[in-house]
A and B are shown apart, each in its own frame.
Chain A
Amino acid sequence: MTTTLPTTTTTERFLREFEVLKFQLQEQNPDWVFKIRNEAIQNFKQLGIPTRKNELWKYTSLEKIVAQEYSHNGVCNRTIQTHPLPWERDGVRAIQYLESIHIVTYNGNYVASLSSTDQLPKSAIVCGFSKACENHAELLQKYFSKIASFEKDAVLALNTAFVQNGLFIYIPKNVSIEKPIHIQNIVDNKEGVYYFQRNIVVLDARAQANIIETYHSSSPGIWSEVNEISVAQEAQLTYHKLQNDLPLLKQITHTTISQAQKSFVHTGTYTMNAQWVRNNLHFLLEGEHTETHLNGLYLTKGNEFVDNHSLVDHKMPNCYSNELYKGIMNDQSTAVFNGKVFVHKDAQKTNAYQSNKNIVLTDEAKIYTKPELEIYADDVKCSHGATTGQLDQEALFYLRARGISEENARALLLKAFMGDVLNTIKLDALKKHLEELINKL
């Protein structure tokens, strides 16, 4: 047969590409890494690129997007390019007023020369993924592909097979990093390319860190980022993801966070000015008495598409999770929220809350929201809910009747709507930065 289904073509393209890269990968990486890659590609072969028939990809034709974007260039497999970096555009770099430990990745590669990791305690580790495979193999083996399982996930499998870039961050026991760590990820390439990045973040017992990831790219392509994060007992992590500067690039992120007992994690995912984004955020609650907060804000316009899928897996008793995602959809844009809370049989005394609220500003804008609770324990407190509406016309009139312009009245109401997500951000500079970005929308 000369005609094949597009599914077969894109999947096969990746498989072929792996064959080509295979020997290079085998040479570059230690055996244990290559072994994982091999398993991953076998797994990917079985699964194939997800189509809309896959329930988890119902609103997103990944297969179509990959076929479109995956031009002749294929997988980006370059080594570091350095000066001059072409990405330094106005306002891209800084979160104003944020005093941070700055880490830069460029096309997925860690750029030591632009990072300020000297401010970290000596015992902490920050290095590129490939380097970590060599220098910190013993540590890395415990986490790479151990936190996030690719068994049922083609995107994860693909990332695992190909990835050579990304970061390894290790914060040892009892170490508190006061200053936020700002990871600035920059992708720059003129042609359609598939990028893979893997970040592995480990907070050992009682460690503390605040991490902010921002993404910047003016080029097209697909960017697959996988984060495997381990938060050991009594450790505390806040993890913010700001997807604001992605006018052309399509981004698929997958973050799995595993939490040991009495750990605390707060995540914030803020998406605006991004053409096409899919975020998977999974929490595995592996110890008792953990606390988890998942906050999200997505503001879409034009024909942007933002899809947030989350899973909170309550495996142990006495854990608390609270999820709040809010979205405002304008023009012909589309957003998807799918949040699942899973409470295992043994996870008694679970407290799990989930809420998704949306404002749709036009007739053409769309939101597909699906909050899901699956509970197998009997002594739990759980709630979930989703609302979708328009801007409150009564409130709008009330404000205008006091002399406030329609534009300002709308802005006041939208800001009020976003308030309870923004108010959870304890880093004032980040909050202010977000507010300014929102004002400019």
Chain B
Amino acid sequence: MLKIKNIHASIDGKEILKGLNLEVKPGEVHTIMGPNGSGKSTLASVLAGREEYEITKGEIFFKGQNLLEMDPEVRAREGVFLAFQYPVEIPGVSSINFLKTAVNEVRKHKNLPALGGADFLKLMKEKQKMVEMDTTLTNRSVNEGFSGGEKKRFEIFQMAMLEPTLGILDETDSGLDIDALKVVANGVNLLRSKERAFVVITHYQRLLDYIIPDVVHVLYNGQIIKTGGKELALELEARGYDWVKEEFNEKVIG
């Protein structure tokens, strides 16, 4: 579904991703861990189509199509969803209006008829239940004045509404209390299917108790330097990153 080949990305002339490779197949859940500043959010931004990043080398294919040629909105309509690490507040844009516009633009792209008011509200109710989303939040402006946890929950709610094929979660677990973490994880698990894949960026193995990944990667200095099964996350939690870095350096030098 997603093939990233030797991607190099820079911002303001500084190279952040330095030859990154990753392949995600339908139905899989991949976790990306790695120290602060290693390039995890950069990867997520590049996938979502942020224009500030310059791709100097490499290719990305999504469902066989060249992802890098698509505008951000086209990527979203094709099924890429990024749950932002820092969702922006948009005062004056009502959450409901925003969601309705988004859902219907995605539907239009899929040649589906636009949802009318009643059908849309029904869908919203159903998904709200799924992520135990406080209904008063959707009556407010997008993210405006939401608490950190509420913002994250709202991201997952949007994902549930838009039903993407690839969900990228950038530290959605950060700042969540235990109950909220379970709710978010549960939301993701309910969305898991044979056709749908997830890339879960996190610092904490705790989340992986609830969302069990198929593959765990370590991203360091713009590259994936180690890949393993879910037990790798436990090992990282216990031992930190130094041993992985050393192992990698030896391999490179040797």
A405, B73: Cα distance in complex, Å: 6
Q: Which listed segment binds B: A250-258, A414-422, A424-432? A: A414-422
Verify if A20 is at the interface (C-beta below 8 Å from B): no
Interface flag for B48 (CB, 8 Å) = yes
Q: Binary interface profile of A, 398-414, with partner B (CB < 8 Å = 1, else 0)?
A: 11111111101100110
Contact between A416 and B92 (Cβ–Cβ < 8 Å)? yes
Q: Which of B51, B105, B141 contacts A403 (CB 8 A)?
A: B105
Determine the chain B residues whose CB is within 8 A of the CB of A403 once the complex forms.
73, 76-77, 102, 105-106, 109, 162
Q: For the complex, what is the distance from the CA of A392 to the CA of B141, rounded to whole Å? A: 15
Q: What is the minimal beta-carbon distance from B150 to any residue of chain A, in angstroms?
A: 16
As a 0/1 sequence over residues 112 to 154 of chain B, the CB contacts with chain A under 8 angstroms (1 = contact) are 0000000000000000000000000000011000000000000
Shortest Cβ gap from B64 to chain A (Å): 20
Q: Is the CB of B87 within 8 A of A402?
A: no
**A residues within 8 A CB of B93?**
395, 399, 412-413, 415-416
Q: Which residues of B contact A417 (CB under 8 A)?
A: 92
Judged by a CB distance under 8 angstroms, whether A394 is at the interface is: yes
- Contacting residues of chain B (138-184) with chain A, CB-CB under 8 angstroms: 141-142, 158, 162
A: interface residue count bin: 20 to 34
A400-B72 contact, Cβ under 8 Å, with A405-B105, A408-B101, A408-B105: yes
Report the Cα distance A417→B90, complex, angstroms.
10
Evaluate whether A404 and B102 lie within 8 angstroms (CB atoms) in the complex, with A397-B50, A397-B72, A398-B84 already known.
Answer: yes
Number of interface residues of B (CB under 8 A): 29
Q: In the docked arrangement, what's the CA distance between A405 and B30, Å? A: 29
> Is the CB of B253 closer than 8 A to any CB of chain A?
no
Interface residue from B76, B92, B97 paired with A402 (Cβ < 8 Å): B76
State the Cβ distance, B86 to closest chain A Cβ, in Å: 9
Residues of chain A with a CB closer than 8 A to B87's CB: 398
| CA A357 to CA B96, docked complex, whole Å | 26
In this complex, the member of A402, A406, A409, A419 whose beta carbon has the largest number of chain B beta carbons within 10 angstroms is A402
Instruction: Judge whether B76 and A401 touch: CB under 8 Å.
Output: yes
A200 to chain B, nearest CB (A): 38
Assembled-state Cα–Cα distance A398/B25 (Å): 26
A406 contacts which chain B residues (CB < 8 A)?
71, 73
Contact B91 A401, beta carbon cutoff 8 Å: no
User: In whole angstroms, what is the CA distance A395 to B141 when docked?
Assistant: 12
Q: Please state if B84 and A400 are interface contacts (CB–CB under 8 Å).
A: no
Interface assignment of B238: CB less than 8 Å from any CB of chain A: no
| Residues 56 to 73 of chain A near chain B (Cβ within 8 Å) | none
Given contacts A401-B48, A403-B76, contact A420 B92 (CB under 8 A): yes
Task: List residues of chain B with CB within 8 A of the CB of A394.
Answer: 88
Contact A401 B105 (CB under 8 A): no
Minimum C-beta distance from A32 to chain B (A):
52
A402 close to B84 (CB less than 8 A): no
Using known A-B contacts A402-B98, A403-B106, determine if residue A395 contacts B90 with beta carbons closer than 8 Å: yes
Given A398-B142, A404-B102, 14 new contacts (CB under 8 A): A392-B88, A397-B51, A397-B72, A399-B98, A400-B72, A401-B84, A402-B98, A403-B105, A404-B101, A406-B71, A415-B92, A416-B90, A416-B141, A417-B92
**What are the nearest 3 A-B pairs in CB distance?**
A416-B92, A403-B76, A402-B102
Which residues from chain A sit less than 8 Å from chain B, CB to CB?
Answer: 392, 394-395, 397-406, 408-409, 412-413, 415-417, 419-420
